[in-house]
């Protein structure tokens, strides 16, 4: 591991741990949650507002930035940090997941993926080498190996996908040149324990500075997601950060931390906010609901975020009903702050050795639908 990136574990309880992951843009206290700034902006928030949510790591999407404004332009502007003016650590994904989920057309072969832009239909090709080249131009502190994410219940496709993902992880490692970036590998394998085990062992063996678990929260059951985390983490080395990609529902974060996950990211807090939903320590509130019309309370009475310290539910509901953009900004500030509060309380519980009590108390007070993944619930809400 490069000396710029060290992972020091401070406290442990069961599989969970508190650690510090150092990066060229400062240390990260884990377990942590990273909000997503897809197009080099966490939607609707200035970096100054994002700072007030106690966020540290911010994720940006390689697929989007490659298409617009282009990696060369971001590089010319001094890289992602200077471009978006976020002075804390950043992470870019490999672009693979977005190609598979967003591109207008995609054709995968063993060498890479050819796809059409969802913006203008133009044809592009990503290979592991190309993804790393783009991510080196973007310049995030943490970058990801190019991988293939298969439908979770398709065994044969997952077999094929991990074979490719492993070859591509090797090629990503060989292509990577910047010492000031940590390249993480990605474990795939759907909901199949033997594939997850095999993938975890292969990726761990590459001895990269961190390892991610991909292909979860994509429609499988929550029990299956948690089982896969256990399977993978039982194989992964303890001394490296473990990143559960695309997961950010509070109940999944708590369950992930209990099983040894260090890093989470998700669009959930900001996307929910743009659809009028607030995250609280007790569940979600749909602030469009008429019952909030005269409610003088803040979203969450004991919350210390700017939104809760300043505005009533009645005002935020008015902004939603009047279609004022400020509602998305204010709820995003709260939702991200709420997840950062959860992370901080989880770290405190690990430090104090009472994580099990904290987690069971949180989960019994938090209203969610335990049979479904965050993603499924999320899509219900969007409809």
Where on the chain is the footprint of its own copies (CB under 8 A)?
Answer: 39-41, 43-49, 64, 68-69, 73, 76-77, 83-85, 293-294, 296, 306, 310-312, 314-315, 317-319, 321-322, 324-326, 328-330
DSSP bridge pairs for 16: 13
Residue 290 DSSP label: G
Buried b (16+ CB within 10 A) or exposed e, 172-200: bbebbeeeebbbbbbbbbbbbeebbbbbb
CB of 208 to its own copies, least distance (A): 31
Considering the complex, state which of residue 25 and residue 43 has its C-beta at the smaller distance from its own copies: 43
- Please tell me which residue in 93, 141, 252, 375 is annotated as part of the active site: 93
Considering the complex, state which of residue 76 and residue 109 has its C-beta at the smaller distance from its own copies: 76
CA atoms within 13 A on the CB side of 358: 22
Considering the complex, state which of residue 296 and residue 382 has its C-beta at the smaller distance from its own copies: 296
CB of 100 to its own copies, least distance (A): 21
Active site residue 111: no
Active site residue 154: no
CB of 322 to its own copies, least distance (A): 4
Integer Cα distance of 269 and 265 in angstroms = 10
CB of 139 to its own copies, least distance (A): 15
Edge-to-edge order in the sheet of strand 113-116: 105-108, 113-116, 123-126
CB of 62 to its own copies, least distance (A): 14
CB of 32 to its own copies, least distance (A): 23
Integer Cα distance of 367 and 251 in angstroms = 9
> What's the angle, vertex CA 11, arms to CA 9 and CA 17, rounded to 5?
70
Phi, psi of 203 (to 5 degrees): -65, -40
Considering the complex, state which of residue 119 and residue 179 has its C-beta at the smaller distance from its own copies: 119
Going from the C-alpha of 54 to that of each of 77, 306, 336, 358, the distances in angstroms are: 26, 11, 8, 21
Considering the complex, state which of residue 89 and residue 328 has its C-beta at the smaller distance from its own copies: 328
Integer Cα distance of 253 and 160 in angstroms = 29
Integer Cα distance of 19 and 35 in angstroms = 19
- Please tell me which residue in 141, 252, 262, 265 is annotated as part of the active site: 265
Considering the complex, state which of residue 171 and residue 313 has its C-beta at the smaller distance from its own copies: 313
Q: Which residues are catalytic?
A: 93, 265
């Amino acid at each position: 591991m490069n000396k710029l990136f060290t992972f020091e574990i401070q406290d442990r309880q069961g599989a969970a741990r508190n650690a510090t992951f150092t990066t060229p843009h400062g240390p990260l206290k884990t377990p942590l949650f990273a909000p997503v700034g897809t197009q080099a902006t966490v939607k609707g928030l200035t970096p100054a507002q994002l700072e007030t949510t106690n966020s540290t790591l911010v994720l940006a999407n390689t697929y989007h930035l490659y298409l617009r404004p282009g990696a060369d332009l971001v590089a010319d502007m001094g890289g992602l940090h200077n471009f978006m003016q976020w002075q804390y650590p950043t992470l870019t994904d490999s672009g693979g997941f977005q190609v598979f989920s967003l591109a207008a057309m995609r054709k995968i072969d063993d060498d890479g993926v050819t796809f059409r832009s969802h913006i203008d239909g133009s044809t592009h090709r990503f290979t592991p080498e190309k993804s790393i080249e783009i991510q080196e131009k973007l310049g995030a502190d943490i970058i990801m190996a190019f991988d293939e994410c298969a439908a979770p219940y398709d065994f044969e496709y997952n077999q094929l996908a991990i074979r490719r993902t492993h070859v591509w992880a090797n090629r990503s490692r060989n292509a990577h040149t910047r010492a000031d970036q940590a390249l993480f590998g990605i474990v795939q394998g759907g909901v199949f324990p033997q594939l997850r085990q095999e993938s975890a062992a292969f990726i761990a063996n590459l001895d990269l500075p961190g390892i991610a678990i991909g292909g979860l929260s994509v429609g499988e059951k929550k029990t299956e997601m948690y089982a896969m985390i256990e399977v993978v983490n039982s194989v992964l080395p303890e001394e490296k950060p473990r990143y559960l990609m695309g997961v950010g529902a509070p109940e999944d974060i708590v369950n992930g931390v209990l099983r040894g996950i260090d890093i989470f990211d998700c669009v959930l807090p900001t996307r929910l906010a743009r659809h009028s939903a607030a995250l609280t320590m007790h569940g979600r509130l749909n602030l469009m609901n008429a019952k909030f019309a005269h409610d003088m309370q803040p979203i969450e009475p004991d919350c210390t975020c700017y939104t809760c310290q300043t505005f009533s539910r009645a005002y935020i509901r008015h902004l939603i009903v009047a279609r004022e953009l400020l509602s998305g900004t204010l709820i995003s500030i709260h939702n991200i702050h709420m997840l950062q509060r959860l992370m901080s309380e989880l770290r405190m519980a690990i430090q104090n050795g009472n994580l099990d009590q904290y987690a069971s108390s949180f989960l019994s007070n938090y209203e969610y639908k335990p049979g479904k993944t965050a993603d499924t619930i999320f899509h219900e809400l969007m409809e």
